[in-house]
Amino acid sequence: MTPSLILLRGLPGSGKTTLAFLFSENKTYPTFSVDDYFTDENTGAYHFRFQDNHLAYKQCQERTENAMKQGHLKIFVHNTFTMDWEIEPYFKMAAVYGYIVFVATVENYHGNSNSHAVSEEQLQKMAEKYKVKLW
């Protein structure tokens, strides 16, 4: 069976994290996110710092690559992925390590609010940049 990299994308509050943990079968398979960088491992408290955002992207990519090197059959990455530059490195890694990539867009039909206090204005800006590749 070809190993799979599953990229879950969507706006904050859409349910990406919840879905990643559900699909990971109780963390049988690794899940990674940019948000991991800003989340305290002991308390679960989230503290976003814009100036560290580039470090968060780097950490997420490094963790994903390490999981590929370890040969995990499935790897889940749950980020907003609103722009191509955010998703591109994962396709490159997948090609190097022989992973097939699936991209799933998570939509907020359940009307959940985001847990990171992203403003309506910022959500709107993110939505405007969002592209869906249907073919």
Q: Does the pLDDT of residue 53 top 90, yes or no? A: yes
The span from the first CA to the last CA of the chain, in angstroms, equals 25
User: Distance between CA atoms of 44 and 21, rounded to whole angstroms?
Assistant: 15
Question: For the chain, what is the mean pLDDT?
Answer: 91
**Domains along the chain with CATH numbers:** 4-129 (3.40.50.300)
What residues contact 81, with CB distance under 8 A and at least 6 apart? Answer: 7, 9, 87, 103
Confidence of residue 91 (pLDDT cuts 50, 70, 90): very high
For residue 26, the model assigns a pLDDT of 86
Contact 100, 2 (CB under 8 A): yes
pTM: 0.90
Contacts (Cβ under 8 Å, ≥6 apart) of 130: 11, 82
